Structures are given as C-alpha cells and as structure tokens.
A and B are shown apart, each in its own frame.
Chain A
Amino acid sequence: MTLDEIRTRARKKWELLEHSDRPRIFIGAATCGRAAGALGVLEVLEAALAQNNIEAIITQVGCIGLCYAEPLISIVKPGRPHIYYGNLTPELASQLINDYIVNDNPRPDLALGSVGEQSIEGIPQFWELPMLKPQVRIALRNCGLIDPGNIDHYIANDGYSGLVKTLEMTPEEVIEEIKKSGLRGRGGAGFPTGLKWEFCRKSPGEVKYVICNADEGDPGAFMDRSLLEGDPHSVLEGILIGAYAMGATEGYIYIRAEYPLAIERLKSALRQMADYGLVGDNILGSNFSFHIKIKQGAGAFVCGEETALMASIEGKRGMPRSRPPFPAQAGLWGKPTNINNVETWSNVSAILGRSAKWYANYGTEKSKGTKTFSLAGKVNRTGLIEVPMGIPLEEIVYGIGGGIPNNKQFKAVQTGGPSGGCLPANRLNLPVDYESLAEAGSIMGSGAMVIMDEDTCIVDVARYFLSFTQSESCGKCVMCRLGTKQMLEILENICNGKGKPEDIDLLQKLSEAVKAGSLCGLGQTTPNPVLTTIRYFRDEYEEHIRNRKCPAGVCKALISYSINEEKCPGCGLCIKTCPVGAITSMGKGKPVVLDHEKCIKCGSCYDVCRLDAIKVE
C-alpha cells in the first residue's frame, strides 16, 4: 500500500470519528496526568457511562500542556464543540457524565474552555486562554490532540508527508531545506542542525548512524518525555528524514529508563511503522532502508553528553571523550554519527511537512522557530509550553504562567537546568533566544524553566545545583571531579553559617578553573548557577556570610521559628503537624508555645499556619 492509500483510509477513519454520533471523551493520560489521578478518573467515567447505558468513545491522549489543571478531559457531544474540563476528581467526573452527557448541561462552572465553531455561554475559547494564546505549537503540534498509540491519527493529520517529500528530494536538498529553516539544536547548545547534518553527510564511510537523544536528565525538564508520550511519530519521522539526508542506515533512540510510558509508546509506534513499511528495508518502496533500535539509559546524567551517550550505547561507562574527532567524523563504533535531541527531530518533520520558509517566519534573526519549555516551580500555571523564540521571559512567567502563587514576590527564573543560571526580576524583559540568555549568564538549555519566589534561598539553590552536578560528575576531569567538591563545601559552609568573607571570590575563581579544566559540557557549565547567583544576588550571599542571616528563611542553621503571639489564636493546627511535638497548647484562645530545644526547624508549622502566626527569622 502506498502512503497515499494509507492516508486516505486513515483520514476516512478520522472523519468518522470526528462526526461520530456517539459522545467522545479525550483524557490526558501521559505520566503527569496519571500522577494527578487520570486513571482513577477514567475508571469512574467508564463506570458512569456503563451505568447510564451510554456508548461513548474514550481516547487516551498525551499532554496538552496545562499540567496545573490535570487530570484534564475534553468531552465532545455530536454536533457540539470540544469542552475541556480540568482539575477533575472522580466525583466531578461522574457529575459531568450525568450533567452534560445525560442531561445536556455543559457545566460552565467546571469548564476551562471550548474548541469549535459554536461557543457555549460562560465558556471561553480554549485556545484564547491566557496560558495558550501566546503559544505556537510546532514540535507539540499533535500533543494532547491525537491518540499517540494509533499511527492512523498521526497520518490523518498530515503525518509522514514530510518523509514522502524527502524521498522525492536529493539528500543535499533536504540538508539545504533544514539550513534555510534556521533550525538549531534544541538539546541546549544550539548548533545549527543543517550544518551538523552536512558534516555527517560529507564524512566518508559506508556505515553511518543517527541517534535521537532522549536522555532528558536536567532536573526540571519534561518536554521530551511529554513529546514522546504524546506524539512519538513526529520524532520518528524526523529521524527518518535525517537518516535519509545523511545516508545513515541504522539509528538509536537513547532514552531514560525512568520514562517507561515513553518507551512503551515508542515501541508500539515502531511496530505500527513496520506494518506500514515506514521503517526497515525499502521504506515506502524506495531504495532507502533504515532500522531503529531503542537503548535504555541506566541513570547517569552525564550520558546526555553526546560522546558519553555513544560510549553508553557501546556498553561502556558513559564517560565523555575529547573532541575532535567529532561524532560526525568518528562517532558510534568509530563511524560517522549524528545526534539530535527529541525536540529537534520533531521540528525536522514539521519543517519538511510544511516548509523552511514557513518555519523561519517564527523567532528572531538568529534563533528561528519555537522552543518548548517545562514551566514548573512557584508559578500558578505549571505546564508544558511552546513559544516563539524571542518572547520576553516576563510573558512566560506572568502571561502564560499566571504569576506567582499566594501573592508572593517573584525572585528568580532558572533556565537551562544545572547548566543554566538564575535570572532576577530586572532581567525579565530578556527575550528568550540563544544569544540573549547566554549574554545574561544563563543558557537556553533543553528547556527546564523553574520559577522561584521570595521563599527560595538563592544560596541554597546554588548549593542544590552543585550537589547535583558534583554527584553526577563522571570523574574523568580533575577540575570537575574535585573542583565541584570544593565549591560544594564552600556553599555548604555558607548555608551553615560558617561562610568567610573571601568565599565569594574563591567561588568565582574555582568556577573559572572548573570551566577551563573540563572536557565536556557538564563540567564547563556546572559553575553557571553559582556564577549567576553571585552576579545577580550577591547581597544575599553577603547577608549569609556577614550577618549570618538567611533572608528567605531556608538555611536551617541561620533561622529560628517563633510564635507571633498577637496573631496566634491557639487553633492547634501546628501542634498536629509538628513532627517532634515541640509546640504545646496553652488552652483555647491563647497562643501556643514553641520549645526551641525540641524544634528541628522543619517549617511544617509555618506551612500549615493560615494566619501568618509563625515567624521565621
């Protein structure tokens, strides 16, 4: 069967589904949705439908990105728009079946938004919501909208049309198209993708490899997981296009073992591709043959670095090596190899499916297209987002993210994970592109974006990142192995009230040495969180060192808790929460008493008190 025939059939099935006379329910069942309780909601939905003898079509979809509102479903009744409902509980789910599906009350009080020509009173347009309006979904084009376990859904939505076009072009033309699009590597470093492909293409050798880097290790990053769980074919199609352009016949997807659902989705996607002749020998009847294997990582952050990743595929310890030779010359088993990140591959299939010109319309002069981010931390609307390059950070934090919860003050936005930096409020006007972020001392990175509020201690954040990279250092380079250890000790001292005035300078000197003395990206970027926090929050370091105070009230050695007797009504909520019994009641209406000897400064009482009656100093 040709792809045209497959597509015609897939479109027919899709149309039948779209115009089904049965109600349809889409439920976000990616890892985030499941963690929020989606499978429990699903059970209740099925039971409530059965009880009412309603035959509905339930489709499990990936993440649409509104993670703060998970579990999330959308309901479509025949001839009516899609209506999205968020923050569902099993109780609300069963109410919705009764109220909307049985009785036709769309429950605007529970709805987030609607999609479709008609609108429903009291329900806003879904794509016009403040979280969604500024977004441009290219890599995530199908996430949350199609069944990731059904290749026909992808094909019905123009999937694999980029591959068909590719097979009609010469490899050089494909590379030219990617170059024209301006696409740069989305794994973090931002190297021009077309150029990287050209190096590999021109590298002599019969056997070449293409690798998809799905070893998403940055803490705070979940874009690649969501993309693989929500639309694996967009990534797989990109890999095929790249393999054709570079003349590779074998490929690997290197994915974290911590992502079991994404692995399952990939495996089933590959099986369905094989059934349609989209992978293996003579793809779609052409001369192009390509085989893909999945390799599971075994829990080493450094394996996100390309030479370490290749060592790991070869069955060795994942330790980086010096370059040159670059992977394009001598990579996996010494053969020319190209590695791109999950998001890059999904952009590739979009570019070939539409055009380089269309793609280059988005973004800035040097950073074209869009970038996905996982927005997390102290922000009202956490989620998976995709924005055009050049968008100001402010618009992400306040527009899309809806600002900081509980009326707290914004303190910093952390981009680029442990390799990136913390940017303060006065840098929020910064456009999100590779150059601007680097100039500010951070990096674009893979797309982790963690928001911090006034309750976050910036020195403790630096300590946290250092403790992570220090333990993940593979140990090959002395400066990365030992320098980070020294830096961590200094930061621990500062947090424990043992900081010395010369520590800040020493940290800066060590940072420069670690950067200069490390082979790979891990060591070279490890000091970034320390350097940016010193650059933008020096006064907070000094407060810790000179005055032995932690302004955010986080560093245990520098704080103490006390009861504000004027505000405390003696409700006793803190007494129940205190894990060590340090708080005692003096009777109703009288303030409680805190025993400083017993207090372990865990902060449980502070969190639970609704009246601000617990003071931290």
Chain B
Amino acid sequence: MVKAEIRQQLDELLSSYNRDGSNLIPILQEIQERNGYLPEEAMQKVAQFLKLPESAVYGVSTFYAQFKLVPSGRKIVRVCRGTACYVRGGARILSEVEKHLGIRAGETTTDLEYSLETIACFGSCALAPVVVIDKTVHGRMTPAKVKQILADARNGDEAKS
C-alpha cells in the first residue's frame, strides 16, 4: 500500500480515539481489520499518536497472536488445534488442508489468496474437528469435507454447512 494512503486512512481512524494508552490494542485491532496486517508506518504513527515509545507498540504487536506484521492472504483458513479437535483427529485435518493449499501452518500462498493458521481453540468443541474459513465455522470435518469446503471457498461460493 502507498504510504500516503496509509497515512490518510490512519488519520481518519485515529481521530475517533483519544490519546490514551489503553486504546493501543483497539487501535491496532482496527488497523489489522482494515489491512489484514500492521504496516510498519502505521505502528510508528500510532506510537506518535499515543506518545508511546515505538518499542512498546512493537512489543504489544508481537505479544498477541492476533497481530500480523506481514500481509496475509485474502482468505484466512484457520484450523483448530484445541483438545477436542486434537482427540478427534485434528492433526490429520491440518495436514489435509496443508496438502490442498500447498502451504504449511503460518504461511501464505504466493498469490496472496490464502493464509493458513492454527488457533488454540474456537470453542466449537462439540463439533470437533473444526476448520474456520474467514468467519464461517465448519464443524465435523473429515479429510473429504476439507476438500469440499476449500473447493467451495475457491469458487467464491462458501458452503453454509
């Protein structure tokens, strides 16, 4: 993204917050929501705005799993590694997703189409194992269903089940 564009977007975003340090996480969350990651320029600007050292902003950005410092894919595929998913074969589901996307957990496809993440627990344990594509939770996954939901996502027609 062009720097000027980031600056303009940030000015607008920051104007809705006061300069209180407790707003750091909500501000970063909003930047991440809009860009899919935290651009370096944005973190510097946030530090200036909140009168915090850049190191503090960087510290928070790297502490919380939600924040990404590099761009992620347009679609985020998240595989749950919670206990119930683990007991019901979650590892197999993850390797199946890795196989289909051609990337490993934590990576993004070169065309920036997909990012693959694992997540501690979605809290949909009764339907384990679970895969989440963007905001849609897919329960009772099997390797065959993984193939299906990824194909559906690819066709831009997300299955509702």
Contacts and interface: CB of A to CB of B under 8 A. Distances in A.
A315 B25 contact: yes
B83 A219 contact: yes
Interface in A333-348: none
A315 B22 CA distance: 4
A377 B119 CA distance: 17
B122 interface: yes
A587 interface: no
Given A43-B160, A314-B22, A414-B83, A222 B67 contact: no
A102 interface: no
Interface string B103-126: 000000000000000011111111
B160 A37 contact: yes
Given A257-B29, A315-B60, A414-B83, A216 B126 contact: no
B84 to A, nearest CB: 4
B43 interface: no
A315 B83 CA distance: 30
A414 B86 CA distance: 13
B34 to A, nearest CB: 15
Interface stretch (A284-292, A298-306, A390-398, A510-518): A298-306
Contacts of B124: 31-32, 35, 222
A230 to B, nearest CB: 13
Nearest to B122: A258
B137 interface: yes
A313 B126 contact: no
Contacts of A474: 63
Interface string B66-108: 1100000000000001111011110010011001000000000
A216 B22 CA distance: 21
Contacts of A312: 25
A67 B126 CA distance: 6
Contact of A35 (B24, B63, B66, B127): B127
B103 to A, nearest CB: 16
A70 interface: yes
Contacts of A43: 160
B49 to A, nearest CB: 12
A59 interface: no
B59 interface: yes
A299 B68 CA distance: 12
A37 B92 contact: no
Nearest to A222: B123
A577 B143 contact: yes
Given A298-B66, A377-B87, A258 B123 contact: yes
B137 A35 contact: yes
Given A217-B120, A219-B83, A450-B83, A384 B126 contact: yes
A613 interface: no
Contacts of A218: 121
A68 interface: yes
Interface residues of B, number: 48
Contact of B126 (A376, A456, A472): A376
* Among A217, A220, A312, A414, residue most surrounded by chain B Cβ atoms (within 10 Å): A220
Interface of A is mostly: mixed
Nearest to A378: B87
A524 interface: no
Interface in A485-534: none
Interface in B124-161: 124-128, 130, 135, 137-140, 143, 160-161
Q: Report the contact-size class of chain A (Cβ under 8 Å from the partner).
A: 35 or more
A34 interface: yes
A468 interface: yes
Given A296-B29, A298-B67, A456-B87, A450 B60 contact: no
A219 B120 contact: yes
A583 to B, nearest CB: 15
B65 interface: yes
A140 to B, nearest CB: 14
Contacts of B59: 317
B23 interface: yes
A186 interface: no
Contacts of B140: 36
A350 interface: no
Interface string A28-53: 00011011110110010000000000
B160 A40 contact: yes
A299 B64 contact: yes
Nearest to B85: A219
A218 B66 CA distance: 17
B21 interface: yes
Interface string A330-366: 0000000000000000000000000000000000000
Given A296-B26, A383-B126, A472-B120, A220 B92 contact: no
A376 B125 contact: yes
A378 B28 CA distance: 39
Interface stretch (A105-113, A146-154, A197-205, A601-609): A601-609
Given A37-B161, A317-B59, A604-B143, A376 B128 contact: yes
Nearest to B24: A315
A454 to B, nearest CB: 12
A75 interface: no
A309 B17 CA distance: 21
A377 B143 contact: no
B23 A382 contact: no
Nearest to A300: B64
A448 B83 contact: yes
Contact of B161 (A36, A298, A300, A450): A36
A577 B142 CA distance: 11
A225 interface: yes
A40, A317, A607 interface centre (most CB from chain B within 10 Å): A317
Given A299-B66, A312-B25, A314-B22, A32 B60 contact: no
Given A36-B140, A374-B125, A301 B120 contact: yes
Q: Which 7 A-B pairs have the closest CB atoms?
A: A67-B126, A37-B161, A299-B65, A219-B82, A298-B64, A376-B84, A222-B123
Given A298-B66, A377-B83, A450-B84, 17 more contacts: A31-B122, A31-B123, A32-B124, A34-B137, A36-B139, A36-B140, A70-B139, A219-B81, A219-B82, A296-B26, A298-B64, A298-B67, A317-B60, A374-B125, A382-B125, A472-B120, A604-B92
17 contacts: A32-B139, A35-B127, A70-B126, A217-B121, A296-B29, A298-B67, A315-B24, A315-B25, A317-B63, A377-B84, A382-B126, A456-B87, A464-B86, A579-B99, A603-B92, A604-B92, A607-B92
